[in-house]
Each structure stands twice: as structure tokens, then as C-alpha cells.
Amino acid sequence: MNKADLISHVAEEAGLTKVQAEKAINSFTGAVSNSLASGEPVTLVGFGTFSVSERSARTGRNPQTGAALKIAARKLPKFSAGKALKETVDKPQTKAKKK
């Protein structure tokens, strides 16, 4: 599912126009991004938690030359799935039997 598919699905399920659904999705992603940029995690009970993970500086190797190079420390977004989401994804799918 890509963003356009998500917008169509949200519009249909919520009874919104696609323009309204797109605004809602953009607002959600913007709010999550801004919260993470300020260092605050975003927790959606049952769905999961968006947080910031810090990666320390380290020394890496150029695979072509083998030369050592410094890799700077950085912050990365991280998502941890909640219990309900894990259970939904892990639910066995019923498949049609072949005849």
C-alpha cells in the first residue's frame, strides 16, 4: 500500500473526500515528525510507538579500498509495534485449498 492507496482507503472508511483524507494523513505524519524532531516519542496504544534511536559515531571501511573512514553519530526514527498490531499481523491467514 502506498500513500495514494492509504488516502483512498481512509477517505472511503471515514466518509471523507480524498482531499480531506490527504490533509488528515499529512497532518498526522507532520505531527509525528515534529514530535520526534523535538525528542518526544509518539505512542498509539495498541498500534505502536514511534521514537528516536541514537547511533553513536564509529569507524567504518570503504568496501572498495578498505580505507578506514569516520561515520558520524546520528539520530534515527524507530517504530516498535504494539501488542494488538503484532497479533493482527501474526494471525493465521485462511487460504483456499487447491482442488
pLDDT(9) > 60: yes
Are 35 and 1 found together in one domain?
yes
pLDDT at 97: 52
Residue 99 lies in a domain: no
How many Å from the N-terminal Cα to the C-terminal Cα in the chain?
31
Indicate which CATH number applies to the domain containing 74.
Answer: 4.10.520.10
Q: What is the pTM of this model?
A: 0.76
Q: For residue range 40-81, what is the model confidence (pLDDT) as tens digits?
A: 999 999 999 999 999 999 999 999 999 999 999 999 999 999
pLDDT bin (cut points 50, 70, 90) of residue 92 is: confident
9: containing domain = 1-39
Q: Which residues pair with 42 in a beta bridge?
A: 50
Are 70 and 81 found together in one domain?
yes
pLDDT at 64: 93
pLDDT at 65: 93
Residue 19 lies in a domain: yes
pLDDT bin (cut points 50, 70, 90) of residue 91 is: confident
Q: For residue range 11-38, what is the model confidence (pLDDT) as tens digits?
A: 999 999 999 999 999 999 999 999 999 9
Are 33 and 59 found together in one domain?
no
Are 35 and 53 found together in one domain?
no
User: How many Å apart are CA 37 and CA 52, to the nearest integer?
Assistant: 8
